[in-house]
Amino acid sequence: MADLLKVTDITAGYGDGPAILQDTHLNVEPGKVHCIIGPNGAGKSTLLKAICGMLTIRKGDVVFKGERLNGLRPDQILRKGICFVPQERALFPKMTVRENLRMGGYIMEDKAKLERRIESVMERFPILKERAEQHAGTMSGGQQQTLAMARTMILKPDIVMLDEPSLGLAPKIVKEMFEIMKMMAADGITILLVEQNALMGLKHADWGVVLDLGRTFIEGPAKEVLGDPRIQELYLGGKRAA
């Protein structure tokens, strides 16, 4: 299948600092769940930031639907259909759930359409409808993560990139997050997920990518990555057991 997003041998870092990503590559196929794993500091978050235009790409290409994204601003990349939920979720804690959903569609010019989208997202996530007027910052961690994920659906993006959505959540809630991801994928949204829990992430993904020291170390069908002896040793059997 043709790649929806193709990252070819990119080098990127923060400001004038050292290169964090070095010849990193990634192929993203439409409609699939892709899971990026790797040790702390491997460059997982940096890769997502480079794709969404938050970092300057020094070398290599990011190509989305055949178009080069290098040099575009984050808002331009968002308009093209790539939505990013950072590790810290980036909700507006003092705004209500409804207002947060509205912010998710700030680039939409048709405000009536935006309100219809908000209503339809609330239909999909009853907890958000129930809590529509509650300040986001007063909700539980799981509810906030649900809001952060649901908010991306306002724009009906092609790709949603999620940086460690399970961080700090109880196992039961983490399961719910994976259910939401599956629902998004069934809706035709391609998922690019960074997950600390390698076993959990790969089990729910179609495609697995292992980053180490800013390089793509292993890439393949999630089941194969899960069965790779190097992964078993690094994450699943050893000290970093998931």
Ligand X SMILES: Nc1ncnc2c1ncn2[C@@H]1O[C@H](COP(=O)(O)OP(=O)(O)OP(=O)(O)O)[C@@H](O)[C@H]1O
Q: Which residues bind Mg ion (CB under 5 A)?
A: 44-45
Count of residues in the chain: 242
Only segment of 2-10, 36-44, 127-135, 148-156 that touches ligand X (CB under 6 A): 36-44
Residue 90 or 107 with smaller CB distance to ligand X: 90
45 binds ligand X (CB under 6 A): yes
Provide the 8-state DSSP code for 37.
E
CB half-sphere exposure, 96, CA atoms < 13 A: 11
Only segment of 35-43, 72-80, 174-182, 217-225 that touches ligand X (CB under 6 A): 35-43
Contact predicate 1/29, CB 8 Å: yes
Residue 44 or 102 with smaller CB distance to Mg ion: 44
Residue 40 or 112 with smaller CB distance to ligand X: 40
Out of 28, 38, 81, 217, the only residue in the binding site for ligand X (CB under 6 A) is 38
Contact predicate 106/152, CB 8 Å: no
89 binds ligand X (CB under 6 A): no
43 binds ligand X (CB under 6 A): yes
40 binds ligand X (CB under 6 A): yes
H or E element, residue 151: helix 141-152
CB of 196 to ligand X, least distance (A): 6
208 contact partners, CB below 8 Å, separation of at least 6: 34, 35, 37, 201, 202, 218, 219, 220, 221, 222, 224, 225, 226
Using CB under 6 A, list all residues that contact ligand X: 14, 17, 20, 38, 40-46
